[in-house]
A and B are shown apart, each in its own frame.
Chain A
Amino acid sequence: MVLKAKSVFLFLFIYHLSFCQTTYIESVIANECIVCTNEKKVKVSQNLWHQAHLAFEKKKYEKTIELLLKDVESNVCLKKLLKGNVFFRLKLYDKSLMLFKDEVLLNHRKYHLAALKGISEYYLVKNKDSAVIYYNRILNEKNLPVRLRNEVYEGIAYVNVTEEKFDEAHFFYEKLLSFYKKEQDFLSLGRTYTNLGNSYFEQYKDNKAKKYLDSAYVVSKVTNNQKLRSRIAYNLYLVSEALKEHKEAVQYLKEYNILQDSIQTEKTIWKIAEQKEAFNLEKKQVEIDQKTKQRNVFVVFSLVILLLLLAIFWFYKKLQLKHQQIGILNEELKETNALKNQIFSIVAHDLRSPVALLKQKFQLQTVNEEDETITIDKNVVSIIDSLSFLLDNLLSWSLSQSNLLHVEKDWFPLLPVVKQIEHQYKSLLADKEIVFKIENLYSVLLFGDMELFKIVVRNCLDNAIKFTPKGGEITISGVAESEFFKLIIQDSGTGIPEDVLKTLFELNAKKAQKDTQGRKSSGLGLHLVKSMIELNNGTIQIQNNPRGGTNVNISVPYKNIA
């Protein structure tokens, strides 16, 4: 606000742009705001230019600068214009001049008038003659806006008054008066009357001054602008005093005081309102902060969840890969397993069958002895026998190891099984001159898989014969117990050393015992016997007979028949 008073008496001299009237520059700046002109629907909070020019209008200059710095969307010239005005109001005149005199701004089609106005205002402060030059430059422009013209007139008039060129000043004031009257702009009218009054007062033409001030007083009452009214009242008081109309002077002084008071009150109310607003703003800020905090927490939380999901997904992928690998390995395993089974079946059929066939041939040959085309060495028969026996054992063992063994449990007679095995070993028994006895096995049925049981008895008898010396005795007898039938294979052989007895059923070549002919046994037989007897729900026990030899006790579920 620029208030100038030359005289000691004069309280004020009113220049333009006071009393909350929008100046030309302000209007230019506001016109560039898309929010205020409703060009586009934009959120108020997002448009920095809008906020900046509002701040400027509210005289919050620092905030305006801050907002201008943030604003990158608006025109550079426009920003310079506003910035210059801010600096001007902050009385940083040189800085403002630098901005107004910017080449680009001065040549700008839209803003150059505003820039010129800014420069002229600068000179109004610094060098009034230069100001007049710029004012004239503005007046020479074409299509001059009315508001700007009026402002320039007022400026020129003001300069003339200060330079005591009253006539020129009055010329412009009169021009303005006629215009304002036409426009019915009472505020400006009041201001111009006051200025005229002041001018006459300056010339000591107190009566004329009083006349204009009275007009101003009348007009100002219409505007209800307290500031203007208070100033007019004060000026009237001074003029009345000068005219020695003390009564009136007192009255005007009183009115002035009243108006001053009300202005003061208004100011206080405004201040309180401002404070309230500030408080609300702070509150809002806190709320916003809180919301931001919540939002931040939410963002962090969702990020964590996202990471977690990613991690899970990653692990899942990894697991899937592993499953795939396992699947492939499984396939391979299945293939190798199938191959193994095939090998077993090859052993079973392609190897075992020819040997058994060979054995059968020789057996039939011995029956038809009268043919005598081939003399059969008994050794050959026994070698084939043991070969076939070993093959059978091997096959059964590998089948049992791979769970391929066919187990079919049923009731089966004991006696023929033993007799059959006896028959198989007849020649071997005769060779060793062993007395073989079967006792107490009549009318007994055992429960289990007969073929597996045959393997058990055959292996036990094989062992017994191996370890029984020439002329010895082997007895197979039975004892019926409550649930199990105990088959006892008793020999008169060498017996088994105690330490070997403990680990008898393990597959271990080291502890293999030599038989009566000095041959080592593999130990496969007993190992097989144990697993077979367990498959048959039975138990096996091997102990040394105190009277010499070994007792093998096999217990299997049984029943008696009539």
Chain B
Amino acid sequence: MEKIKILILEDSLEEANILQEALKDSYTIVGVATSYNEAVAFYHIHKPDLAILDIFIEGEREGTRFATYINENSPIPILFLTSARDKITFSAAKIENPYSYLLKPVDPFEIKFTIELAFEKFANEVGQLSTKEEASIKINEELLIKKKDCLFKIAKKDVYYVVADDKYCRVHTKDMQFLIQKTLKSFLEDFADSFIRTHRKYLVNKHEIERINIADYNIVLKNGVSVPLSQRHKKDVLKEFNILK
């Protein structure tokens, strides 16, 4: 469970400071770049989850240029910073789609929502996070989770098991659990390669299985938690682990 990593491209120190001030509590700022080259370097070193870009750096459209660079490598959500809601600026920024924008000077409360929106747009699931109290979306190989107005991400490998709970799913990591508004089936569809169904209500990370007790119909995970194994799913599970038979 990690905070969201953000890369900022902004040539005005004052603006950058304000941004940092507004974001530092809820997010990890991996770097504030003041030029295109610097931004590219930070991008490769820190592998940020989101980029906040000022469209104009030293009067040039370096923001949009960097956005093009991101989209050509491994794309991440992009948030444009702009000082005006005028047409010219946006038609220039619009080449990177989907996009979100933030009007300068930034409102510390507004920025949180705009970041959520940028993720939603990136995943093509507008409203999935922002219209709900608790929710999650899949971004690349990670799970983006919203819990009480906070966003954080979990890498696929950190999830031990998932339990279905009515319309929701309860996701268990090594030391935490949280509810997401997602069915077990859609969860499995998203992460089919590393998870296996052991029970009508359980989904288990294959790599976290410590021991399978065939007689007791349960599975002991690496953190000591045991989850049930049903008669129906026993065959599929054993097929995955035929060496341990």
Contacts and interface: CB of A to CB of B under 8 A. Distances in A.
B108 A415 contact: no
Nearest to A356: B105
Given A345-B86, A406-B85, A406-B87, A414 B131 contact: yes
B90 A406 contact: yes
Contacts of B117: 412-413, 416
A552 to B, nearest CB: 21
Interface stretch (A184-192, A297-305, A440-448, A460-468): A440-448
Contact of B84 (A345, A410, A561): A345
Contacts of B125: 561
Nearest to B88: A406
B21 interface: yes
B75 interface: no
B130 interface: yes
B131 A349 contact: no
Interface in B83-106: 83-87, 90, 104-106
Nearest to A355: B105
A561 B131 contact: yes
Interface residues of A, number: 33
A419 B113 contact: yes
B127 A445 contact: yes
Contacts of B87: 404, 406
Contacts, number: 81
Contact of B130 (A357, A359, A408, A415): A415
Interface string A414-449: 111001100110000000000000000111110000
A416 B116 CA distance: 10
A411 B127 contact: yes
B18 interface: yes
A364 interface: yes
Contacts of A363: 107-108
Given A360-B106, A416-B116, A348 B128 contact: no
Contacts of A416: 113, 116-117, 130-131
A368 to B, nearest CB: 8
Interface string A353-385: 100110110011001000000000000000000
Which residue of A404, A420, A424 has the most chain B CB atoms within 10 A of its CB atom?
A420
Contact of A451 (B21, B85, B104, B113): B85
A535 to B, nearest CB: 14
Contacts of B85: 348, 406, 451
Which residue of B109, B116, B127, B181 has the most chain A CB atoms within 10 A of its CB atom?
B127
Contact of A353 (B104, B107, B108): B104
B105 A443 contact: no
Contacts of B157: none
Contacts of B104: 353, 356
B127 A561 contact: yes
A444 B126 CA distance: 10
Nearest to A344: B86
Contact of A413 (B22, B83, B86, B127): B127
Nearest to B87: A406
Given A353-B83, A364-B108, A367-B108, A411 B90 contact: no
A360 B105 CA distance: 7
Contact of B109 (A356, A410, A420, A443): A420
A561 B105 contact: no
A349 B116 CA distance: 27
B110 interface: yes
B174 interface: no
Contacts of B90: 406, 408
B44 interface: no
A44 B64 CA distance: 96
Contacts of B109: 420, 423-424
B110 to A, nearest CB: 6
A357 B133 CA distance: 30
A411 B130 contact: no
A413 B18 contact: no
B21 A445 contact: no
Interface string B108-146: 111001001100100001111011110000000000000
Which residue of B18, B21, B106, B130 has the most chain A CB atoms within 10 A of its CB atom?
B130
A364 B120 CA distance: 27
Contacts of A360: 18, 105-108
Nearest to A363: B108
Interface of A: 345, 348-349, 353, 356-357, 359-360, 363-364, 367, 404, 406, 408, 410-416, 419-420, 423-424, 441-445, 451, 561-562
7 contacts: A345-B86, A348-B86, A360-B107, A406-B87, A414-B131, A420-B113, A442-B133
- Give the 9 A-B residue pairs with the shortest CB-CB distance, closest first: A413-B130, A413-B127, A416-B113, A413-B131, A416-B130, A445-B127, A415-B131, A423-B109, A360-B105
Given A349-B83, A444-B127, 11 more contacts: A345-B84, A348-B84, A348-B85, A364-B21, A364-B22, A411-B127, A412-B126, A413-B120, A413-B130, A415-B131, A451-B85
